[in-house]
Amino acid sequence: MTMNHSIDPAVAALLPLAKKEGIATVWDRYKAMQPQCGFGQLGVCCRICWKGPCRIDPFGDGPQRGICGADADTIVARNVIRMIASGAASHSEHGRHVALALLGVAEGKLPDYRIRDEEKLRAVAAKLGLETDGKEIPAIAREVALATLGDFQNQDHDTPCTWLASTLTEKRLERLAGLHALPHNIDAVVTQILARTHVGCDADPANLILGGVKGALADYDGMCLATELSDVLFGTPRPAVTAANLGVLKEDAVNIAVHGHNPLLSEVVCDLALLMDDEARRAGAAGGINIVGICCTGNEVMVRHGIPLATNYLSQEMALVTGAVDAMVVDVQCIMPSVSEIGACFHTEIITTMDDNRIPGATHVRFRETTAAENAREIVSLAIAAFRRRNPQRVVIPDFRQTAVVGFGTEAIVGALAALNADDPLKPLIDSIANGSIRGIALFAGCNNTRTTQDSSFVTMAKKLARNNVLLLATGCGAGSFAKHGLMTQEATEEHAGDSLKGVLTAVGTAAGLGGPLPLVLHMGSCVDNSRAVEVAVAVANRLGVDLDQLPLVASAPEAMSEKAVAIGTWSVALGIPTHLGTMPQVTGSPAVTELLTETAKDLLGGYFMVELDPDKAADRLLAVIDERRQGLGI
């Protein structure tokens, strides 16, 4: 039973304990929810007005139209693009937060933050077409922040968002412009989706889906700016050796788990933890303060600072079941509301920090960038106080932790390649793709989902693709899966990579001073950092003079779950990338929408969705797509 939930051994070790203690977990609630609503699974339930809810009979016997007259195609299309709007809003709100912080730093209003990567700031300014010669860092930062905020303010529909226009290939921009799919303003596009899906508005499924594509591209824009400006403020990822899984918790330390997404909070908590280490020791924690990450905040601090990852999305409750977490500090997105109830079974402080993301039963520390250090000090003090209340008898830390070599953002990958060819860093990568040493590239992204065995599909697919010489990139909770299962190590490369891939990874890793190969899977960051993979792909495409839909590049979200994942998957398709989903999307109640997303998209965009629940078969399908692309390029 347990191993059907997850292949994570730490989860397997703790689930019986949760059961013994009477603690309900995500898997218990999933079981209690069965059977789940078939109408919802097909996407044919409409709750957009109070004449409803309406639902379309998928077997053709009952109603084929809702009370207003909307059919299954309209309902499914409206539902899915509303998910995209939510995903785009989530990522871009995160991005706006970071952009405003950069503006505050530039104007000297946020003493608790600073620009940690001036070189990246200059590179970003150049990318956005801003003149930097003779300008001081604060002035450049201000211009970058204002140009970025323009992507939330521009009212000229014919001028696409700056970040989008600055980061894609010319051919891709032309193709998207031809479909009227280029967003001009993130906020406006999200609003348009909500407006056009109101009762009595857009009923054309193809038109709705195209509106969703525009929303997804707004999501891309928001992710891009969030990632790049976070690098400016907090540092650009560099390779680091760290560890993953619940064994990173320490019995003798104040364990603080940072969980959520936005580094504005977690970075300052990390800074304060260093300053307050002695205080923790005085409270009896011989190991001082131990910061660990969960979900994408975990990925953010992992790739930038090598802070260990406790776990990924689906097992966030398990961290609490160890009885060793003194505080779980959360900001936004992917935080299960159940954590406050489980925290209350122990001594654990669950601390919410954002006024618009609160959980009943949690302690709320109102986080403001203007008072960040003061807020973080309060948070760390709460954790130390909780540590004093910890019951050592209830501490069960599963002895599972894997080494993880992480921190492969674009700059780190290019830097490693430059060790082989300083004048033309992309050449070794392009040559390896051209001569078949690297058969293709796969980006693994996305969440965990109770519909699949946690981590299982990620691991199965990655091993098979690597054996077939596919270079693997990962972000988000997918990256968390690989880190927990030891696939971000040099040993994994030795064990699982096909011979030619191993040769390339060894040559690059050795030249870059890693004393051996690059890890089997390259950790690029959190789910908001998927734009890093696009940056690498665009550089390769531009170098070859082709568009993204010609590259042997695929994406996969084997355990997709969130609305953000729907948005990411859709922009991946819009950029021309064949995109695999390992969970059934809630669209199959409409043959028209299903066809649009899995077939018509290929003609319109070059990218398309592929649904395959079996990970072994999914890997085969991705290999076939890669080979098709290679044939197209004549390599």
Provide the annotated binding site: 37, 45-46, 49, 54, 68, 261, 296, 334, 447, 477, 527
Is residue 581 within 8 Å of 555, Cβ to Cβ? no
Q: Does 446 bind ligand MSK (CB under 6 A)?
A: yes
* Least distance (Å) between residue 477 CB and ligand MSK: 3
* Least distance (Å) between residue 533 CB and ligand MSK: 14
Nearer to ligand MSK, 245 or 526 (CB): 526
* Least distance (Å) between residue 529 CB and ligand MSK: 9
- Token pair recorded at residue 557: 């979200």
Nearer to ligand MSK, 187 or 219 (CB): 219
Nearer to ligand MSK, 323 or 446 (CB): 446
**Can you say which residues are annotated as belonging to the binding site for [4Fe-4S] cluster?**
37, 45-46, 49, 54, 68
Taking CA atoms, 149 is separated from 7, 229, 316, 491, 530, in Å, by 43, 12, 33, 44, 20
* Least distance (Å) between residue 27 CB and ligand MSK: 16
* Least distance (Å) between residue 124 CB and ligand MSK: 23
| Residue of the chain from 55, 564, 580, 629 that contacts ligand MSK (CB under 6 A) | 564
Q: CB-based burial of residue 282 (10 Å sphere; 0-12 exposed, 13-18 middle, 19+ buried)?
A: exposed
3-state secondary structure 316-327: HHHHHHCCCCCE
- Token pair recorded at residue 286: 């011989």
Q: How far apart are CA 326 and CA 196, in angstroms?
A: 46
* Least distance (Å) between residue 325 CB and ligand MSK: 18
C-alpha dihedral sign at 183, 184, 190, 192: negative
* Least distance (Å) between residue 483 CB and ligand MSK: 13
**Per-residue contact track with ligand MSK, 74 to 113, x per CB under 6 A?**
----------------------------------------
Q: How far apart are CA 555 and CA 558, in angstroms?
A: 10
Nearer to ligand MSK, 236 or 262 (CB): 262
**Per-residue contact track with ligand MSK, 393 to 422, x per CB under 6 A?**
------------------------------
Is residue 187 within 8 Å of 545, Cβ to Cβ? no
Q: Does 223 bind ligand MSK (CB under 6 A)?
A: no
* Least distance (Å) between residue 138 CB and ligand MSK: 31
Q: Does 296 bind ligand MSK (CB under 6 A)?
A: yes
Residues with Cβ within 8 Å of residue 601, at least 6 apart in sequence: 573, 607, 608, 609
Nearer to ligand MSK, 160 or 409 (CB): 409
Residues with Cβ within 8 Å of residue 564, at least 6 apart in sequence: 86, 87, 90, 91, 219, 333, 527
* Least distance (Å) between residue 235 CB and ligand MSK: 20
Nearer to ligand MSK, 313 or 458 (CB): 313
Q: Does 295 bind ligand MSK (CB under 6 A)?
A: yes
Q: Does 521 bind ligand MSK (CB under 6 A)?
A: no
Task: Point out which span in 65-73, 121-129, 457-465, 561-569 binds ligand MSK (CB under 6 A).
Answer: 561-569
- Token pair recorded at residue 462: 């990655």
Nearer to ligand MSK, 11 or 296 (CB): 296
Task: Point out which span in 109-117, 279-287, 562-570, 596-604 binds ligand MSK (CB under 6 A).
Answer: 562-570
Is residue 492 within 8 Å of 462, Cβ to Cβ? no
Q: Does 609 bind ligand MSK (CB under 6 A)?
A: no
Q: How far apart are CA 101 and CA 573, in angstroms?
A: 31
* Least distance (Å) between residue 446 CB and ligand MSK: 5
**Can you say which residues are annotated as belonging to the binding site for [Ni-4Fe-4S] cluster?**
261, 296, 334, 447, 477, 527
Is residue 484 within 8 Å of 402, Cβ to Cβ? yes
Scan for tokens 């788990």, then name that residue.
257
Q: Does 527 bind ligand MSK (CB under 6 A)?
A: yes
The single-letter DSSP state of residue 21 is H
Which residues within the stretch 307-336 sit at the binding site for ligand MSK (CB under 6 A)? 313, 333-334
* Least distance (Å) between residue 480 CB and ligand MSK: 7
Starting at the edge strand that comes first in sequence, how are the strands of the sheet with 440-444 ordered?
A: 521-525, 470-475, 440-444, 553-557, 579-581, 609-611
Task: Point out which span in 233-241, 248-256, 399-407, 557-565 binds ligand MSK (CB under 6 A).
Answer: 557-565
Q: Does 303 bind ligand MSK (CB under 6 A)?
A: no
Q: Does 447 bind ligand MSK (CB under 6 A)?
A: yes
Helices (H), 235-285: 263-275, 277-282
Q: CB-based burial of residue 551 (10 Å sphere; 0-12 exposed, 13-18 middle, 19+ buried)?
A: buried
Nearer to ligand MSK, 39 or 220 (CB): 220
Q: How far apart are CA 202 and CA 341, in angstroms?
A: 42
Q: How far apart are CA 236 and CA 276, in angstroms?
A: 25
Nearer to ligand MSK, 96 or 261 (CB): 261
Nearer to ligand MSK, 41 or 530 (CB): 530
606: left (phi over 0), alpha (psi -120 to 50) or beta: left
* Least distance (Å) between residue 295 CB and ligand MSK: 4
* Least distance (Å) between residue 334 CB and ligand MSK: 3
Nearest by Cα to 547 from 274, 265, 174, 249:
174
**Per-residue contact track with ligand MSK, 470 to 489, x per CB under 6 A?**
------xx------------
Nearer to ligand MSK, 181 or 528 (CB): 528
543: left (phi over 0), alpha (psi -120 to 50) or beta: alpha
Helix%, strand%, coil% for the chain, nearest 5? 55, 10, 35
| Residue of the chain from 92, 316, 469, 526 that contacts ligand MSK (CB under 6 A) | 526
Got the DSSP string for 465-512?
HHHTTEEEEEEHHHHHHHHHTT-SSHHHHHHHS-HHHHHHHHHHHHHT
| Residue of the chain from 166, 450, 454, 562 that contacts ligand MSK (CB under 6 A) | 562
Task: Point out which span in 60-68, 505-513, 558-566, 624-632 binds ligand MSK (CB under 6 A).
Answer: 558-566
Could you tell me how many helices (H) and strands (E) the chain has, helices first? Answer: 28, 16
Nearest by Cα to 416 from 552, 522, 501:
522
Nearer to ligand MSK, 506 or 562 (CB): 562
Report the interface residues with ligand MSK, using CB under 6 A: 261, 295-296, 313, 333-334, 446-447, 476-477, 526-527, 561-562, 564-565
